[in-house]
A and B are shown apart, each in its own frame.
Chain A
Amino acid sequence: MMTTYDHKKYSRNEKLIKLLFLWPSLAVLLFLIAYPFVMLIYYSFFNFSFLRPVNTKFIGLTNYLLILTDTYTWERFIFTFKYVGLSVSIQFTLGILIAWLLQRDFRGKDAVFTVVLMPMMLCPIVVGLLWRYMFNTEWGIINYFLHNILGFARVEWLGMEQNSLWATIIANTWMWTPFMVLLASAAFSSVPKYLYEAASVDRASGWFKFTNITLPLSAPILVLALIFRLMDEMKQFDLIYTLTGGGPGDATQTVSFTLYKTAFQYFYTGEGSAWAFILLIIIIGLSSILIRLLNYLSER
């Protein structure tokens, strides 16, 4: 006998089954994301500290005003923007360049590719520690090269404000350029081969092909990679924590580092929540600009 599918009879059951499958993950999501988020906004209006949950009072926007009127805050933001801006642009440029070099075929390409991707597979805490040792003024390998082999003066990588900015950027770039390489390679290889054939018949040089075909056609994926990196960098904490500990002084303390200290070292939970909310808004703002760019590029 033929079995036919009775829509009316099964559709009610099906809806129920779909719901049954859906609600556990929905509940977990609500519990892990929505609830903490609501509580975060809630606490940001109180002088709450979860170590001393007494005398908690509603203080309105005081936490926000405290943060936004403090010149220290602006210093942290300026450092963060410098750090993120420089890191992401260097990663972006280097990533595209390396991906372009890896486009052509050569012996051992797969091995090179794997090695290039390696830093990304390490844990940021470990990367921070590794570079901390390498940057050591007295016995770090970098100063060994600069001083003992090349004859320059020893550089106080982590002890001076300006140097420490570059030390963090170098470590960060080393770790995250592979991500850009990966996405740029994917973007480049998605450009159909026949376009390059058409272009070589049209007498385009390698560079002309790259700037007039490869880049414009992979722009959407490249911008997407930029969005990922930007969002991630704005939140970055772990690498800096082990590399410089925010020092010297507070020189390499990013916004999220300050947030960590406020919330988990001084336990000003309310003020920490306000920091978190401000950071969130900035990240959303920045990425929405890039998402617009992305939409513009993909509609073209």
Chain B
Amino acid sequence: MAQVLLENLRKYYGKVKAVDGINLEIKDNEFVVFLGPSGCGKTTTLRCVAGLETVTSGNIYFGDRRVNDLEPADRNIAMVFQHYALYPHLKVHRNISFPLKAEKMPPSERKRKVKEVSELLGIEKLLNRRISELPDGDKQKVALARAIVRTPEVLLLDEPLSALDEVFREQMRIEFLKIQKALQVTTVYVTHDQREAMILADKIVVMNDGKIVETGNPEKLYEEPQNVFTGYFIGSPGMNFFDCTNKGNGTVVLSDGEGISFSEVYRQKALSLSRADFVFGIRPEYLFFREKLKGESNYFKIKLVNVERIHEINYGNFYLGDNLYKCLVSDGDELSGREGFVVFDDQKILFYNPESGRII
């Protein structure tokens, strides 16, 4: 049983609330990714689970076992650190066998285990190398090998790819998925890279300011973020959020005073909101620039500032007030500076409460 339960977990450093009341259930064999900007408490949460930090209050359970007061050594976990934390004076094979030696496994069995795990990760040729001779990607593979050589109950990974080059990252992401599926181990993975989270996670836990903002599977968080922060943080570029005011006379205006036209269903919905101000959220992928309308009913007027290419897609930038937004444009640069309309897909509209940031 390697189900992990966090119950009202808090970790304060003096007045700083690094982790501020987290409740989370991680299922057996689940691959959970903590995602958030730096300083959001994701690493601290992980270190509390590992036992490297004592908790201020709250409980941590592994299965039915409350592990709050257990040393890291007694929690049956394994961890991969951001900067590898390999033992610099030991060769690769002795780094991998370190946890086995620590629990006094006989040498022949140690050797067999090291061989097994190094074949799994494709590092059997590196076993007699020094740590200092290895490129960063291989270092992290060795660190991963050391972590999984002793079949832990819970595997913890603290930004394991952030010190690597893009090429290695790609490789290692695949490696992580392969290993996790092969080992069937409950995994908690911390990152600030939303792409990594989207690719790896069964469940993403979005964090900010020591709190969980939202939890869900990657597709759901992308398509229907329940919170403005999630929409903004997940996706590259992030979601557009427009401040809207319901004028009460059947019209809705944007922050620059320009009117926004919704198709009838959504106009009714917008007008029926009990509050006069709301936020209208939509991903740039569902927002298209047109110089002339072709009978669309969802649109508003803008002026394109410029066009940029991100991941082979042309995005047009435009301002409303001081805020920069993005939409799709069909052609390249020649549209810069043009006036026109953005039209949007009916199905993709989400309304949010401007104060709480929650979906309405």
Q: A194-B81, A194-B83, A204-B73 are in contact. Are A199 and B102 (CB under 8 A)?
A: yes
B102 cross-chain contacts in A, Cβ below 8 A: 199, 202-205, 208, 212
Q: Are B50 and A201 in contact (CB under 8 A)?
A: yes
> From B88, which residue of chain A is reached at the shortest CB distance?
A217
Interface size class of B (residues with CB under 8 A): 20 to 34
A201 CB contact (under 8 Å) in B78, B83, B101: B78
In chain B between 76 and 135, which residues have their CB closer than 8 angstroms to a CB of chain A? 77-79, 81, 83, 85-89, 98-99, 101-103, 130
Most chain-B Cβ atoms within 10 A of its Cβ — which of A202, A204, A208, A213?
Answer: A202
Cβ of B141 < 8 Å from any Cβ of A?
A: no
B79 CB contact (under 8 Å) in A198, A208, A213, A217: A198
Q: A194-B81, A194-B83, A204-B73 are in contact. Are A199 and B89 (CB under 8 A)?
A: no
B85 cross-chain contacts in A, Cβ below 8 A: 194-195, 197-198
B71 CB contact (under 8 Å) in A195, A200, A216, A300: A200
Least CB distance, B80 to chain A, in whole angstroms: 9
A213 cross-chain contacts in B, Cβ below 8 A: 87
Least CB distance, B344 to chain A, in whole angstroms: 48
> From B89, which residue of chain A is reached at the shortest CB distance?
A216
In the complex, A198→B73 CA distance in Å?
10
Q: Are A195 and B98 in contact (CB under 8 A)?
A: no
Least CB distance, B86 to chain A, in whole angstroms: 8
Q: Are A203 and B99 in contact (CB under 8 A)?
A: yes
Q: A197-B52, A208-B102, A212-B98 are in contact. Are A202 and B146 (CB under 8 A)?
A: yes
Least CB distance, A135 to chain B, in whole angstroms: 43
Cβ of B72 < 8 Å from any Cβ of A?
A: yes
A204 cross-chain contacts in B, Cβ below 8 A: 73, 98-99, 102
Least CB distance, A220 to chain B, in whole angstroms: 10
Q: Are B83 and A202 in contact (CB under 8 A)?
A: no
In the complex, A212→B101 CA distance in Å?
10
In chain A between 192 and 230, which residues have their CB closer than 8 angstroms to a CB of chain B? 194-195, 197-205, 208, 212-213, 216-217
B130 cross-chain contacts in A, Cβ below 8 A: 300
In the complex, A194→B99 CA distance in Å?
15
In the complex, A199→B71 CA distance in Å?
12
Q: Are B73 and A201 in contact (CB under 8 A)?
A: yes
Q: Are B52 and A200 in contact (CB under 8 A)?
A: yes
Q: Are B72 and A201 in contact (CB under 8 A)?
A: yes
In chain A between 77 and 104, which residues have their CB closer than 8 angstroms to a CB of chain B? none
A300 cross-chain contacts in B, Cβ below 8 A: 89, 130
Q: Are A199 and B98 in contact (CB under 8 A)?
A: yes
Most chain-A Cβ atoms within 10 A of its Cβ — which of B51, B81, B89?
Answer: B89
A201 cross-chain contacts in B, Cβ below 8 A: 50, 52, 72-73, 77-79
Q: Are B73 and A203 in contact (CB under 8 A)?
A: yes
In the complex, A201→B102 CA distance in Å?
11
Least CB distance, A188 to chain B, in whole angstroms: 14
B150 cross-chain contacts in A, Cβ below 8 A: 202-203
Interchain residue pairs with CB less than 8 A apart (7): A200-B72, A201-B77, A201-B78, A202-B73, A202-B102, A204-B98, A204-B102
Q: Given known contacts A197-B72, A200-B73, what 4 new A-B pairs fall within 8 Å (CB)?
A: A194-B81, A202-B78, A202-B146, A213-B87
